């Protein structure tokens, strides 16, 4: 029995825009906005470090150069995740 070819990768993640207010992210066909007030780790980060984002598994994003690990749910519903880690930037 032969296995069929893998389907199209629908788990793609990319940063679509960086502004003075925050970062826009496209993940699995949905665009998210991460304002610096709620996601301070990105405010003073290098552009290259913000662009280097990986989706480790569905709904789990990781920026290895910044050591930032976020669930898509925390981006989509930040009010449900009120605690912010200390950011020394």
Q: How far apart are the first and last CA of the chain?
A: 55
pTM exceeding 0.95: no
E strands of the chain, at which residues?
13-18, 22-27, 30-35, 54-57, 60-63, 68-71
Query: In DSSP terms, which residues pair with 17 in a beta bridge?
Result: 24
Q: Dihedral sign, CA of 25, 78, 55, 42?
A: positive
Residue-by-residue pLDDT tens, the chain, 89 positions: 454 554 444 458 999 999 999 999 999 889 999 999 999 999 999 999 999 999 988 889 999 999 999 998 888 887 777 665 555 54
Closest CA to 53 of 20, 15, 8: 15
């Amino acid at each position: 029995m032969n296995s069929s070819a893998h389907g199209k990768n629908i788990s793609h993640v990319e940063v679509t825009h960086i502004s003075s207010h925050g970062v826009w992210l496209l993940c699995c066909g949905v665009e998210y906005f991460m304002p610096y007030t709620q996601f301070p780790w990105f405010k003073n980060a290098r552009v290259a470090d913000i662009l280097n984002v990986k989706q480790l598994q569905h709904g789990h994003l990781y920026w290895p150069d910044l050591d930032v690990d976020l669930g898509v749910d925390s981006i989509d519903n930040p009010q449900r995740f009120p605690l912010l880690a200390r950011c020394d930037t």
